[in-house]
Amino acid sequence: MKRTYDYPAHNAIRAAWMHYLPPIFEASSDHILYLAGPENLELPGYLAKGLRPSQLTTAEHDKEIYPLVLANSGGVHVTSGGIQTAVEEMISRGIVRLRGAWLDFDGNAHSYTEELLALARLMPSQGGSSLGVTSYSARDRHALVQGTINAAKFYSGLPSSGQFIREYGNMMRQFEHVLRLIPQRDSSPLAHFQREMGFLWWLTLMFGVVNPTKGSDPNVIDNAFLERSEATLCAITDEVKQRLGTQPRETDLVFVLIPRLRHMLASRRVKAWITHLERYAFWSANRQPMRVWFAKIQPLPRGQPAPTMQDLLEQVWTLAIRSPLIYIDQAGKHVTIE
């Protein structure tokens, strides 16, 4: 069967993304990166917001699908490769800031750190940026373990481990609620929580380790900080895996507390801030669980005391636990779960 993204639930998500973006783009320097696929269903929405095809870039890593994407590009620049390749090409074309990016990752979402760090080099723009991520939530065991590892980072990094336990329970109740709305479900509340932890750590890492540059150069990644962080992050990974054992189950979740993570994050000043978050869940046309997040990223004013990466982690967590989970049903209708 031909794969299509033209069905009510996905169309509703697409409409939500267009609503999340600014109503109109007026600057010729505004640029959007997205994954068009062969159907390129987002293009009319971008054009309606005042963007020209020359202000849009898409990427396609599948060499068999690439000719179809190119044929239906409508003048949008098409990169043969992944997000990291697209970022490198945009920089070579003089595009060093993005007003928006909407990405689509498969079940092995933990493997995309390098691509997301590459994307962070182009965000936020002076007027702020919007980031959308769609993640196929089929439960690859390694991704489940990574979700548990990322949960331990928040458990260790937040000011209070008690706060995490209390608010983790509230988030789990959202996932329990959404799964009661889905007939013949094949996922679990914990699997959704582990996917959530993946995205929240992405946000913290992406915008916690980039340094803005003066002028028209892209941001740079603070590799020295990443190297200093490696031992602490590996300690969390090793402790979680040791607690889980060699055959972790989907229902396993352990709380590992490594206090030095909080001190490590507090030593790093950040230059970007996450101000808003929207969270969605829906089922694909072939009944696969999907998650979507939209986030607003703003630059921090120069000359003012900058918050720390620990502050950023706390902000990301607070936005997540305070924002509702919006379920899109098969007919494209919204169900808001507080």
| Average confidence (pLDDT) over 230-234 | 95
Hey, where are the domains in the chain? 8-21+99-337
- Indicate yes or no: pTM above 0.85: yes
Mean pLDDT along residues 147-164: 91
Element of type H or E holding 320: helix 309-322
Is the pLDDT at 139 greater than 60? The verdict is no
* CA distances (Å), origin 37, targets 17, 42, 271: 16, 10, 33
- pLDDT-derived band at 227 (thresholds 50, 70, 90) equals very high
Per-residue pLDDT tens digits for 105-136: 765 555 578 888 999 999 999 999 999 999 87
- What was the pLDDT predicted at 111? 57
pLDDT of residue 108: 55
The CA distance from 97 to 156, in Å, is 33
Those residues with Cβ within 8 angstroms of residue 153's Cβ, 6 or more apart along the chain or in another chain:
197, 201, 233, 236, 261, 313
Q: What is the mean pLDDT of residues 80-86?
A: 93
pLDDT given at position 249: 62
Contact 193, 149 (CB under 8 A): no
31 to 60, 69, 86, 102, 280: CA distances (angstroms): 18, 19, 13, 12, 25
Averaged pLDDT score across all residues of the chain? 91
Q: What secondary structure does DSSP assign to 188-255, as a single string? A: -HHHHHHHHHHHHHHHHHHHHSEE--STTPPPEE-HHHHHHHHHHHHHHHHHHHHHH-SS--TT----
**What pLDDT score was predicted for residue 286?**
77
Q: Which of 45-59, 91-105, 251-265, 270-284 has the lowest mean pLDDT?
A: 251-265
Give pLDDT, residue 1: 46
Mean pLDDT of 142-156: 88
